[in-house]
Amino acid sequence: MFEQTVTLLLSGQFVCAVSYPDAFRFLNAEENRKEVEAFLGRLGRSLACTRHGSAWYVSFARLDPDERKGIREEFAEIKHSLRLVVGFFVHVMQAMRREEFLSPGSVIETNRLIAAIDENPSLRNELQTLTNLGKASSDGTLRSALDRLLKKLREEGYLVLANPEREIYEVTGKVEYLQEVVDFLMVHESVQEEVEEKQETGNLL
Amino acid sequence: MSHDLVIKYVEVLHRQRAVLAEAYHRGSVDKTDDNARAIYELQQHRALVPFTQDTYRLASSLARHLDEVLQKERMYAAVGANIGELAGRLPYLIDETEKAHLEGRQEDADAYADNFNAAVFDLADSITGALQYLRMLADNSFANVSTLAEKKRQNEYYIGRAERISDALRELQMAGMGESLEERPGCEGLAIAFRSQLADRLPQWRASLLDITDILKSYLYRLRQVEPAARRLRAFALFLKRNPDYVAPDVDEIAEPPAWALRARPLRLKARPDLSDSATSDALADLARALPLARVLVRREPKLGMLTDDGAAPPIIIPIAPKPYQVALDRFLGAVATANAPISAIAWKAAEQEFDALPGDIWLHCVLYEYAMDRRRLARFSFERVEATPDHALSGNIVVRDVLARRVE
């Protein structure tokens, strides 16, 4: 299991109970984790985990110019997809009337989601906007737009297709990483949480 | 036919299994002409109880048993509710066993001992069942309810139940029942069941309970984190919507990058087989054999130089001879090109004996055809038809007697 786990980590994957359950179990055992950490340490890397421990990933152990370049590239990717990913998760929460965050292991049922979006014009428009953000061409139907988005999120590592027959997706541990990015940017940009209610009231008036 | 009451009872359940299953899955079963007899029989055996008029439900003990067997989740299940009461029976049964023994009532003592053993088993079974149920709830994160508030309430409720079980286990351990049984007359036999079913398993149960409580509490902690997380995500999404040009800062602009920003760039790993390693050579050979054959493209370079005689028969050259009218036309045009005056086609042919075999009308037709084709090579010539007067003015016939050709300057 060591080989598979280290290969996954070095190839940039987030190892969580949803995406790679065996590797995740392997890393949860302290002695295995120490072994992996020692190996990564020799490559100038370290094992990191998301805030609530739902996913493991690899960080640079030091910050030399080369590593800085690597970090910049990684962050550029996050920046690039930030609007789409944040928008998607908020969209799903709205459509499914969920007040809580889609934590790792949360289930997204495509059929229920599309039915909920279909009956709400505002959600339909929102889906269209998201599809444009993702530059995902579709044949114009809601279903195809949603399918493209789900595919994109799968490629980005935020979702896995848990049940292909019923088209049920599961949220991976990478979503906790997203939450950390969002929390940091909110502090950095001094974004107020109350802004949501003000906006909604503004729209009503 | 067996006379054992248990066997008879189980046979009734088996015979009426369809009605029982319907009552369990639907919550109740309606009485109809078809199932009236089955319902009557099940009611007689206390497997069904009346619910409303002509509607019956499973007896709660049977429903509970099926829930346990099928691990069906019930909201706010009274997990471990009877553990305290079951544990409370044991001291009474021990006292009665001892008294009966001291008073010489051995049959009564045996009956109390049987009851004690059954109570110990009930208690052990109840604790095991409660722990399994709590473990299931802890592992599936209260998947049977959808909202955060419900999950939170259920979580708090089951933490309370786990604490009650923990208290009951502690009391059981503190009571020192195991030691007293060995000292009390007539109770030595009880100690065996007590030790094997309860005392020896207590440490394992307590460890399991601690583990479950730990999971439930950490899940509760996470649930309390989830709501603010959702609020922040929504607020940030709104911020992005209101600031369509917003671009997150570069890492270089951040004075102290947070831990998450240090995520390493993926390494592109690629391994190649070591062809000199004998340990893998067989596997590589198998792999190579399984590969589809590559298409061999033979590129033939064009040869420059002389053709060499390869002994083949020399090529047959068949010269294409021009037809007589073509030769005649060529000569006629040559003559026109050098003449200063127009030349009559008929007169020219008559002068050329070589073309006597060419009939006059055919010749004239060839010249007219050449003229009608308006070829580039005729640009230097002009042609004029010499026509005869038709027999009748309105016949539409054009009778050509000759063609005069001349050079155009």
Chain A residues close to B267, C-beta within 8 Å: 10-12, 43
Q: Name which of B222, B234, B246 is nearest A196 (Cβ-Cβ).
A: B234
Residues of chain B with pLDDT under 70: 1-2, 71, 73-78, 140-148, 225-226, 307-309, 409
Amino acid letter at B14? H
Q: Which residues are CB-neighbours of B121 under 8 A, at least 6 positions away?
A: B193, B197
Whose tokens are 């060419």? That residue is: B358
Query: B141 and A183: CB-CB below 8 Å?
Result: no
Exposed / middle / buried, residue A85 (Cβ in 10 Å: 0-12, 13-18, 19+): buried
Q: Across the interface, which of B146, B225, B251 has its CB nearest the CB of A71?
A: B251
Give the sheet arrangement for strand B381-388, strand by strand: B343-344, B399-407, B381-388
CA nearest B140 in A: which residue? A105
Pairwise CB contact (< 8 Å): A105 & B254: no
CA–centroid distance for B14 within its chain = 40
Structural domains of chain B ordered from first start: 2-70 (1.10.10), 83-229 (no CATH), 324-407 (no CATH)
The answer to whether the complex's ipTM is over 0.85 is no
Cross-chain residue pair B269–A10, CB shorter than 8 Å: yes
Condensed to tens digits (0 to 9), the pLDDT of residues B141-160 reads: 666 666 667 777 777 888 88
Choose the closest CB to B267 out of A11, A179, A183.
Answer: A11
Contact (Cβ atoms closer than 8 angstroms) between residue B141 and residue B219? yes
Strands A15-16 and A55-60: antiparallel
What tokens were used for A38?
A: 């020692």
- How far is residue A107's CA from residue A168's CA, in Å, rounded to a whole number? 7
Give me the residues paired with residue A171 across strands: A159
Q: How many CB atoms lie within 10 A of CB B139?
A: 11
Give the other-Cβ count within 10 Å of B18's Cβ: 11
Size of interface A-B (CB pairs under 8 A): 141
> CB count, 10 Å around CB of A71?
22
Q: What is residue A48's three-state secondary structure?
A: strand
Name chain A contacts of B235, Cβ cutoff 8 Å.
186, 191-196
**Most A CBs within 10 Å, among B217, B243, B251, to test the A interface:** B251
Q: How far is B258 from chain A (nearest CA, A)?
A: 8
pLDDT for residue A138: 58
**What residues of chain B lie within 8 A of the CB of A182, using their CB?**
232-233, 236
**What does the pLDDT read at residue B73?**
64
Which residues of chain A fall short of a pLDDT of 70?
A: 99, 134-139, 194-205
Nearest to A129 by CA among B241, B169, B1, B401: B241
pTM for this predicted structure? 0.50
Q: Residue A192's Cα: distance from chain center in Å? A: 22
Residues in B lying within 8 Å of A, measured between beta carbons: 141, 146-148, 222-223, 225-227, 229-240, 242, 246-252, 254, 257-269
Cross-chain CB nearest to A186 (options B148, B236, B250): B236
Instruction: Report pLDDT digits (tens) over B258-293.
Output: 888 888 888 887 778 777 778 888 888 888 888 887
- Sheet hosting strand A159-163, strand order edge to edge: A107-109, A168-171, A159-163
Distance from CA of A4 to the nearest CA of B (A): 12
Q: What is the distance between the alpha carbons of residues A146 and B409, in angstroms, rounded to a whole number?
A: 82
How far is it, in rounded angstroms, from Cα B291 to Cα B235?
56
Q: What is the pLDDT of residues A149-204, one digit of tens each?
A: 888 889 888 999 988 888 889 889 898 898 888 888 888 877 777 644 444 433 33
Sign of CA dihedral B301, B305, B306, B309: negative
Return the pLDDT at A197. 44
Bridge partner residues of B165 (DSSP): none
SS (H, E, C) chain B: CCCCHHHHHHHHHHHCHHHHHHHHHHCCEECCCCCHHHHHHHHHCCCEEEEECCEEEECHHHHHHHHHHHCCCCCCCCCCCCHHHHHHHHHHHHHHHHHHHHCCCHHHHHHHHHHHHHHHHHHHHHHHHHHHHHHHHHHHCCCCCCCHHHHHHHHHHHHHHHHHHHHHHHHHHHCCHHHHHHHCCCCHHHHHHHHHHCHHHHHHHHHHHHHHHHHHHHHHHHHHHHHHHHHHHHHHHHHHHHCCCCCCCCHHHCCCCCHHHHECCCCCCCCCCCCCCHHHHHHHHHHHHHCCCCCCCCCCCCCCCCCCCCCCCCCCCCCCCCCHHHHHHHHHHHHHHHCCCCEEHHHHHHHCHHHCCCCHHHHHHHHHHHHHHCCHHHCCEEEEEEEECCCCCCCCCCEEEEEEEEECC
State whether A100 and B262 contact (CB < 8 Å): no
pLDDT of residue A195: 46
Both tokens assigned to B359: 């009939």
CB distance A107 to A96 below 8 Å = no
Q: What is the distance between the alpha carbons of residues A154 and A162, in angstroms, rounded to a whole number?
A: 11
How many Å lie between the alpha carbon of A95 and the closest alpha carbon of chain B?
13
